Amino acid sequence: MLVASVDVSGPVVVIQARTRSRDPAGCTGCGALSEWVHSRYVRHLTDATVGGRPVRIDLSVRRLYCEDPACPKVTFVSR
Ligand SMILES: [Zn+2]
């Protein structure tokens, strides 16, 4: 996970982060590596505090196609 920015100006500390975008990701079903990106979306993770202040992590993650046509997962989310 790469931290892109940290905003501490508001009541909630907002951390913007993303997964490494150039690396192929392993399918969670069969383990095959794929670089075939289906889409991106942002996950909001809110289960943390820093110094008593709530923290929201906006994590940009990729959904990829599995390149193995026999794999039942079809798409998977990179870790
Ligand atoms: Zn697969």
Cα 45 to ligand 1 centroid, rounded to whole Å: 26
Q: Which domain holds residue 44?
A: 2-77
The pLDDT of residue 50 is 79
**Angle value at C-alpha 21, between 19 and 25, nearest 5 degrees:** 80
Cα 57 to ligand 1 centroid, rounded to whole Å: 28
Task: Label residue 49 by pLDDT band (50, 70, 90).
Answer: confident
pTM (2 d.p.): 0.69
Judge whether residue 23 has pLDDT over 80.
no
Measure the CA–CA gap between 64 and 76, rounded to whole angstroms: 5
The pLDDT of residue 21 is 67
Residue reference for tokens 């931290």: 3
Cα 24 to ligand 1 centroid, rounded to whole Å: 13
Cα 21 to ligand 1 centroid, rounded to whole Å: 19
Mean pLDDT of 2-7: 93
Measure the CA–CA gap between 70 and 26, rounded to whole angstroms: 15
